[in-house]
């Protein structure tokens, strides 16, 4: 049975009433398998998102869901208190037996969210207006969680943004050369090793306590934010699997990495890749309007964070390519090396524009 058939067969196990009209796959994410269903009940249409959690990435899906329940409830309470009529939040639909997930007969974990409708998602930045709204949405998300007790959160992926560890993984992939691809990537390895020390600075500052620890999202790429079709506002931050204590610089960095590039991370043609100073300025403006509690050290490293998170992604994509594509969903065999080269090119473009922003 393929995953779409599976999805059809499991959704009856969630607290959803009405008739299933249709179900389709969403292919935007690299990690989980996502399906969108439409139900009707007494003429009313309701949509849901169903996801099979990737168990090889998230080895404790119950802990992921515990984090998500706590965080979504915290945000829902805030939004209700502030009466932000326009805001809409992610909310989990429980299984029929009252759990935030359902385990199918193959031992796979599924979860369901209310689908947030009338929204746009973007894989590539669209305009300065969206860039500004993205900054506001991420800043707002972080400030909504600034009074959340981070000791309640499980660490869903240990060392997720630990650059030293990511380099150890790369060292190991080089040593093992599992997929026999080592000879194809010497230029990429040379660039990444030459940048290692600089790339480790933010993690080292976080680890030694000089950069404060806060609750962070850790995966703030553009398509993890939903924008209102009507107003263009960034109304909801989704994909909460990696909510953990971290530095806000992981979030600013990922936001800059994806949203200041003139292309998606899948673009093969390096000549099309550039860094948009204008999008950076718009994101930065929106972000600082909402994240008004930052310390000077955090503010001073926002620009560097974009370069650092681009670097960590180059290291991760290259590691996965050398390991034989075991982590990310890929569409063709060279996909991970295309992504790694794309990220390296973006770092070079950041350097070219460095004095302009």
Residue 233 binding ligand GN1, by CB under 6 A: no
Map residue 149 onto helix, strand or coil.
coil
* Contact (CB, 8 A) for 264 and 110: no
Site for ligand ADP in 34-93 (CB under 6 A): 34, 49, 90
Residue 224 binding ligand GN1, by CB under 6 A: yes
Per-residue mark of binding to ligand GN1, 276-315 (x: CB under 6 A) = -------------------------------------x--
Residue 30 binding ligand GN1, by CB under 6 A: yes
* Contact (CB, 8 A) for 323 and 172: no
Which residue stretch of 101-109, 188-196, 200-208, 219-227 sits at the interface with ligand GN1 (rule: CB under 6 A)? 219-227
* Contact (CB, 8 A) for 111 and 100: yes
Closest contact distance (angstroms) between CB of 157 and Mg ion is 14
Q: Any residues with CB less than 8 A from the CB of 146 and at least 6 apart, and which?
A: 214, 215, 293
* Identity of the residue, 188 or 239, whose beta carbon is nearer to ligand GN1 in the bound complex: 239
* Identity of the residue, 216 or 224, whose beta carbon is nearer to ligand ADP in the bound complex: 224
Nearest to 192 by CA among 331, 300, 322: 322
Pick one of 77, 121, 176, 231: the residue that binds ligand ADP (CB under 6 A).
121
Reduced DSSP (H G I as helix, E B as strand, rest coil) percent helix, strand, coil of the chain, to 5? 50, 15, 35
Per-residue mark of binding to Mg ion, 15-44 (x: CB under 5 A) = --------------x---------------
Which residue stretch of 27-35, 38-46, 138-146, 269-277 sits at the interface with ligand ADP (rule: CB under 6 A)? 27-35
Structure tokens at 117: 């409708």
Residue 141 binding ligand ADP, by CB under 6 A: no
* Identity of the residue, 228 or 323, whose beta carbon is nearer to ligand ADP in the bound complex: 228
* Identity of the residue, 266 or 356, whose beta carbon is nearer to ligand GN1 in the bound complex: 266
Which of ligand GN1, Mg ion, ligand ADP, none interacts with 146 (beta carbon under 5 to 8 A by kind)? none
* Contact (CB, 8 A) for 24 and 47: no
Residue 94 burial (10 A CB sphere; 0-12, 13-18, 19+) = middle
Rounded distance between C-alpha atoms, residue 43 and residue 324, angstroms: 49
The residue written with tokens 């009209």 in the block is 21
Q: Any residues with CB less than 8 A from the CB of 201 and at least 6 apart, and which?
A: 304, 308
Structure tokens at 331: 């569409």
- Give the pairing type, strands 33-41 and 109-114: unpaired
Binding site for ligand ADP (CB under 6 A): 26, 28-29, 31-32, 34, 49, 90, 113, 115-116, 121, 223-224, 226, 238-239
Binding site for Mg ion (CB under 5 A): 29, 224, 239
Binding site for ligand GN1 (CB under 6 A): 29-31, 57, 219, 221, 224, 239, 241-242, 265, 313
């Amino acid at each position: 049975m393929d995953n779409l058939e599976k999805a059809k067969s499991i959704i009856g196990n969630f607290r959803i009433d009405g008739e299933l009209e249709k179900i389709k796959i969403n292919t935007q994410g690299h990690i989980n398998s996502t399906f969108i269903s439409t139900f009707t009940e007494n003429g009313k249409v309701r949509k849901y998102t169903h996801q099979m959690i990737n168990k090889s990435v998230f080895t404790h899906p119950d802990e992921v869901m515990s984090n998500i329940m706590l965080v979504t409830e915290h945000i829902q309470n805030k939004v209700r208190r502030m009466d932000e009529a326009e805001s809409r939040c992610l909310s989990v639909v429980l299984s029929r037996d009252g759990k935030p997930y359902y385990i199918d007969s193959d031992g796979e974990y599924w979860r369901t969210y209310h689908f947030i409708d009338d929204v746009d998602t973007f894989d590539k930045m669209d305009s300065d207006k969206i860039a500004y709204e993205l900054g506001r949405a991420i800043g707002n998300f972080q400030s909504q969680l600034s009074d959340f007790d981070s000791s309640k959160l499980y660490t869903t992926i240990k060392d997720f943004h630990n650059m030293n560890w990511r380099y150890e993984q790369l060292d190991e992939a080089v040593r093992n050369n599992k997929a026999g691809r080592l000879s194809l990537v010497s230029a990429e390895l040379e660039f990444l090793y030459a940048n290692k020390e600089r790339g480790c600075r933010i993690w080292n500052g976080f680890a030694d306590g000089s950069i404060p620890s806060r609750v962070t999202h850790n995966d703030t790429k553009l398509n993890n934010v939903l924008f209102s079709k009507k107003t263009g506002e960034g109304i909801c931050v989704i994909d909460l699997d990696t909510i953990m204590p971290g530095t806000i610089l992981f979030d600013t960095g990922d936001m800059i990495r994806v949203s200041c590039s003139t292309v998606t991370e899948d673009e093969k043609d390096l000549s099309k890749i550039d860094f948009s100073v204008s999008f950076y300025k718009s994101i930065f403006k929106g972000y600082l309007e909402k994240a008004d509690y930052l310390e000077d050290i955090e503010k001073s490293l926002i620009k560097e964070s974009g370069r650092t998170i681009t670097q960590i992604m180059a290291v991760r994509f290259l590691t996965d390519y050398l390991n034989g594509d075991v982590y990310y969903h890929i569409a063709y065999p060279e996909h991970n090396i295309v992504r790694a080269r794309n990220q390296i090119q973006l770092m070079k473009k950041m350097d070219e524009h460095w004095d302009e922003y």
